[in-house]
A and B are shown apart, each in its own frame.
Chain A
């Protein structure tokens, strides 16, 4: 284990990537993720890596595609409007079955929106970022330590399944500081016999491609990919449960809003209200198993988000009508206070006894 240091969320993302063996970073400046790029531009030359500022997010994600196709660990980082521009490239990356890590430090939208923290890109992240039938694996950390751990895991899981992986952060997690223990760098060079890096006269030529003119072939490949997705859904769900065993009221929240919700649950417990929290860590695959299990004993669910209600759809799908699912959210860059969420819990409880 490495030493314990105090780090800003965005810098921790960058350092965690370097520790995971990432030596290639391509990106375009945007608030509130700029520290990721700044850190990379400072550190990459020191570790023999590549930092390159692309001329746009469109170019940057395609540089990621090229580097991923060539078989190296590669990352890009941006914020909401940048993801919109990267969507085309992300679709090609998914369709070409190459791994990479994409960081979205979310800000308020739509349009230019604002630069304050938000969770309004949930649909974009989980309902396929770009055209076509595909998924990203999406991790939603809620502390800086967890950010570091998940960035590390993102590279491994991406290589394992040959898939793009998204770290869905937000302006609050990106900007705040917490102590973290950075992992030791291990040998992360993975053998990638499929990569386009020159056949050296030793094998047939490799082709990294997403074009299939024959619809039967395209359908077969998409179906194969969905078989892989099924395995991921069965084995890679992650969620944290907090005081859920005896809880009647279950708050579901991820990332920044889960921190607020945890405080609200504590406040409710002090008043004798049986509240609990489910915190999804993977947003895709969504932790349906945890939600289904808890829905057997809980009376009501409350999805708390920094959006107008996006993840609530997944909560409803998982609960599948077993109990009511309610929603509370703030948007535009506003973080709900613990008191606001607590008031919602009290309302669902029919007051304080």
Chain B
């Protein structure tokens, strides 16, 4: 009997706690498949952040460290500097990476820290029940922007890949999504490239995944995908914002 699909080895058998239609699960799987394909599980250390994905430390089979809210890039820096042979990645939401941890993100990127950031941009704070995130769209209604995000008072969203792409330490900054098979494949290829760049010691890599949060968007899973396509993707265009290119032999 041919096995068509099975759980990647890099994922434990602990069931995900994510809501139906949430894209966190897909991204976990892609990261795990990349770890399997690169055969690096035994030397990988993941850094879990504070947000809906905090329990990633239970889901990935590699060693894991749980960081304070926003501090994953600094914790990952500590791990990587202590163990340069390890493959180190962070898994962060938009509140974690672009609000409370913006400083740590910018400086890890500027230093060209050899880590990979998997960045889940779902335009909202999921774990705490749907407050405004630094990536919440103009006019978007959240628990703390009940009349829609007014950029005059609540400020403007941050396009993280665009912002970080100006930094010399960044090797790869790419925005992907996982709304359809084609994009899922592209997302996986981007994640794989980021891990490979790290193993070659090329610098900071960030893969931003435009994601859904049906629960806090107040939408059914299918409608959430539609909303993502119609609202998120125009504001956060997919693409490669920086890529220093394959290593020369």
Contacts and interface: CB of A to CB of B under 8 A. Distances in A.
A53 to B, nearest CB: 10
Interface string A203-241: 001111111000000000000000000000000000000
A316 to B, nearest CB: 35
B68 A69 contact: no
B66 interface: yes
B82 A71 contact: yes
Q: Which of B60, B71, B78, B103 counts the most chain A CB atoms within 10 A?
A: B78
Contacts of A67: 78-79, 81-82
B77 A66 contact: yes
Interface in B100-159: 103-104, 106-107
Given A52-B81, A55-B107, A59-B107, A70 B67 contact: no
Interface in A64-96: 64-72, 74, 88-89, 92, 96
A88 B47 contact: no
Contacts of B164: none
Contact of B65 (A55, A64, A66): A66
Contact of A70 (B12, B74, B82): B82
A70 to B, nearest CB: 4
A54 interface: yes
A59 B63 CA distance: 22
A64 B78 contact: yes
B71 A62 contact: yes
Interface stretch (B36-44, B201-209, B232-240): B36-44
B62 interface: yes
B42 A69 contact: no
Contact of A62 (B41, B62, B75): B75
Nearest to A54: B74
Contacts of A24: 78, 81-82
B74 A59 contact: yes
Given A55-B107, A199-B62, A50 B81 contact: yes
Nearest to B88: A66
A324 to B, nearest CB: 44
Contacts of A200: 42-43
A71 B43 CA distance: 14
B45 interface: yes
Nearest to B111: A52
A63 B76 CA distance: 7
A208 B80 CA distance: 15
**How large, as a class, is the contact surface on chain B?**
35 or more
Interface residues of A, number: 41
A98 to B, nearest CB: 9
Interface string B50-88: 000010011011111111100100111111111101100
A199 B103 contact: no
Contacts of B68: 62, 65, 88-89, 92
A66 B78 CA distance: 4
Interface in A25-45: 26
A70 B104 contact: no
A54 B106 CA distance: 12
Interface in A144-191: none
Contacts of A65: 65, 67-68, 71, 74-75, 78
B47 A66 contact: yes
A59 B71 contact: yes
Nearest to B45: A196
A209 B57 contact: yes
B71 A58 contact: yes
17 contacts: A55-B107, A59-B77, A62-B67, A62-B104, A63-B77, A66-B76, A66-B78, A88-B68, A197-B45, A197-B79, A197-B86, A198-B44, A198-B83, A200-B42, A208-B65, A209-B48, A209-B66
Interface of B: 12, 41-45, 47-48, 54, 57-58, 60-68, 71, 74-83, 85-86, 103-104, 106-107
The 10 closest A-B pairs by CB, nearest first: A66-B78, A62-B74, A196-B63, A63-B78, A198-B43, A66-B75, A67-B78, A62-B71, A55-B107, A70-B82
Given A59-B77, A69-B79, A209-B66, 17 more contacts: A55-B106, A58-B103, A59-B71, A63-B75, A63-B77, A66-B74, A66-B77, A66-B78, A70-B45, A89-B71, A198-B43, A198-B44, A198-B62, A198-B63, A201-B42, A205-B61, A208-B66
